[in-house]
Amino acid sequence: MMTAILTFEELKSQVASGLTDTVLACFVDMQGRLMGKRFHAVNFVETSFSETHCCNYLLATDLEMATPDGYASSSWEAGYGDYIMKPDLETLRPVPWLDGTAMVLCDILDHQTHEPISHSPRAILKKQIERLEKLGFEAKMATELEFFLFEKSFDEIRKDGFRDLQPISGYNEDYHIFQTTKEESVMRPIRNHLFAAGIPIENSKGEAEAGQEELNIRYAPALDCADHHSIAKHAIKEISWQHGRAASFLPKWDKDRVGSSSHVHQSLWKDGKPVFFDQSKDHGMSEIMCQYMSGLIKYAPDYTYFLAPYVNSYKRFSKGTFAPTKTVWSVDNRTAGFRLCGENSNGIRVECRIGGSDLNPYLAQAVMLAAGIKGIEDAMRLAPATTGDVYQDASAKDIPHNLRTATETLRSSKFLREALGDDVVDHYTRAAEWEQEEFDRAVTDWEIQRGFERA
């Protein structure tokens, strides 16, 4: 685990000197957002560093903060009680883009038993990390954060009814230095503030659409990777807001533009060495790597919901957009759902290209680890790599093409029920159902424009 950027003793010293006056105690909700409280720093270092509390509906809600029925964990009948927020002091860090502020991430515990809440995203990932450790391995991962920057602020866009959205740039800026120079007023503080907060930023770049950005963070142990991703996503929105811009992680905001993804790179290590590499094997892929990838691919339909959790998520999957449509692997081929990277080198790894920019990294990483573990436990054999334009491969298995299909594969997944537990699968199945129910009640602009006069 990454060492604390701030030790608790350093925080107490900063509080005593007046350098830090606010501590954000945060946990990650089902949607991957940071939720929590702002503590006066004196109170935090004297008492609240031990624990604080939050309402249990916060892990049974949606993007609108509604209180849907159908959850076993919390309800009006049960009275919506409290969870314990237990600060993980190993995650203490400054928040350089906010004056006098530090942050700590919390684990969510049952108020009575002090046991982890099984459906909390951080607990779900920790469980799979522990399973992997029992096999003698450590997972290292990296996520790519893609998002769009817009000319106007969140408040202006909301007041305009989310219409006439104008990206910050006027043309495709993939790897474009001149165009991204124009955006440095936002992107430079994002890189530098996050680096100062202990997030090992590698780089930012223009992505394959007007106003589309990508932020890359260095490979790290799986839990650190998820922590880094969640803090970075939060910071990108806050820093953009501070500069009068809006940053959106909606996967597909315009039908005529490419979507935003969150590719996840992953490999296993043992005793400080990568176990995915074996120079005597084809492509340098070890037997363990082949087994791991076999599990990833076989169970991709089962866990697609955790990579694409909303109705909009599935609008991104279309051919010719660099978003995959098939659950197959290939060697350094961006048309496949899984891409072999670092062929014949110590840096060999598999990149899952299915996930959208709206994924919760804890959940996404957890289910992929579970699938990889299943592949190793069952000594699965990896099918040969596909070649050419995978979009046109009629024999390749499709990614679930909408939320309804992904919900049913989640509900009926024996593999996920064994790996995560029935309670966790039932909890997130209900979240998926609720998302679909809310969409089904909506009347969209498309329907009105299409049928208002002509129907």
Give the other-Cβ count within 10 Å of 306's Cβ.
27
Domains plus CATH for the chain?
8-117 (3.10.20.70), 129-447 (3.30.590.10)
Nearest CA to 42 out of 25, 22, 64 is that of 22
- For the segment 127-134, the average pLDDT, to the nearest whole number, is 97
Q: What is the rounded CA–CA span in Å between residue 11 and residue 45? A: 8
% residues pLDDT > 90 (the chain)? 83
Q: Is 284 left (phi over 0), alpha (psi -120 to 50) or beta?
A: left
- Beta strands across the sheet bearing 82-94: 34-40, 22-28, 101-110, 82-94, 52-55
Strands 212-217 and 138-150: antiparallel
Q: What is the rounded CA–CA span in Å between residue 266 and residue 222? A: 9
What is the per-residue pLDDT for 2? 45
Contacts of 3 (CB under 8 A, 6+ apart): 90
Is 228 strand, coil or helix? helix
Query: Which class for 115: exposed (0-12), middle (13-18), buried (19 or more C-beta within 10 A)?
Result: exposed
CA dihedral 128, 134, 136, 137 (to 10 degrees): 0
Q: Is 255 left (phi over 0), alpha (psi -120 to 50) or beta?
A: alpha
What is the residue type of 375? G
pLDDT tens sequence across 156-194: 999 999 998 999 988 888 888 898 989 999 999 999 999
What is the residue type of 84? I
What is the per-residue pLDDT for 219? 95
Nearest CA to 106 out of 117, 94, 95 is that of 117
Rg of the chain over Cα atoms, rounded to whole angstroms, equals 22
pLDDT tens sequence across 5-56: 899 999 999 999 999 999 999 999 999 999 999 999 999 999 999 999 999 9
- For the segment 235-239, the average pLDDT, to the nearest whole number, is 98
Q: Give the pLDDT band (50/70/90) at residue 4.
A: low
Write b or e for each residue in 29-47: b if 16 or more Cβ atoms lie within 10 A of its Cβ, otherwise e.
bbbbbbbbbebebeebbee
CB-based contact 39:258 (threshold 8 Å): no
Q: What is the rounded CA–CA span in Å between residue 311 and residue 319? A: 18
Q: What is the rounded CA–CA span in Å between residue 340 and residue 329? A: 7
Give one DSSP letter per residue of 65-129, joined into a string: ----S--SS--TTTT--EEEEEEEEEEEEE-TTSTTEEEEEEEEEETTT-PBPTTSHHHHHHHHH
CB-based contact 384:312 (threshold 8 Å): no
Nearest CA to 58 out of 47, 43, 73, 38 is that of 73
pTM of the model: 0.95
Whether the per-residue pLDDT at 222 is higher than 90: the answer is yes
Whether the per-residue pLDDT at 111 is higher than 70: the answer is yes
Structure token pair of residue 40: 């006066």
What is the per-residue pLDDT for 322? 67
What is the per-residue pLDDT for 142? 97
pLDDT tens sequence across 141-165: 999 999 999 999 999 999 999 998 9
pLDDT tens sequence across 305-362: 999 999 999 999 877 676 777 778 888 777 788 999 998 899 999 999 999 999 999 9
Q: Is 338 left (phi over 0), alpha (psi -120 to 50) or beta?
A: beta
